Structure 1
């Protein structure tokens, strides 16, 4: 837990000072192991699709041209697909705790994308399915973010099997 700034609170004419918990203010990246080598700057989104039910599938290029990484989420999702440049400048003043050079997949806490989503949706989904998380997949070009209670499933597939 990080305590840095001081808040001055006035209660009934008395001034008190307290340290603010800033751990939830700044973004925190929690790296995910996808089971294959991916240099984020050399990767890109190959395909994205909504499948039957609430399944989301995305395929990304990996360091091996014979294979792709397919990521699936089986559950309700909010998805954003965005170019790397606006994503990388969205939090220019925030420290990026946990961000690793060339790493591809993260669970993220405190990002604007997550906090700007419908609190009603997140609450209803949390009650019906489970707590929501924010996942971010960073490439040198097209990035993908997902808010969902579902855990990502990573599967390495042959490039020619991509439908």
Structure 2
């Protein structure tokens, strides 16, 4: 099957029901996508599928064929960070950092859909992404900063 990931088309020979997470990590070497729980409850594996945040651990490879897949590695670059990534750095959100790629992808999808989220909007959108380090106040502050920076861009 052909998958377009971060703007690059790849041909992979995998079973249709292989979780997209494993296609990305094991077949394509895109390790910025993290395995957390495997049951779509923690959000560590969040990617964008045609701009919508989805859990790659519960998305089948066949469901992604023909879609535009964006991972944390395609969201921005070290020289040109996405506004959410820059806000994460500014607010020093990450502690252990394991959940952060999923958090950032969820936040970027939120801001694409709602450029002026309230605290309640942020909490609702980010509520499915767990952070064992408890950086939730910094996550909310970073989302607000990213929203403001995107408006000014």
What range is the shorter-chain TM-score in? under 0.3
Higher relative contact order (CA 8 A, sep 6+): 1
More strand by share: 1
TM-score by length of 1: 0.24
More helix by share: 2
Return the index of the structure with the highest Cα Rg.
1
TM-score by length of 2: 0.25
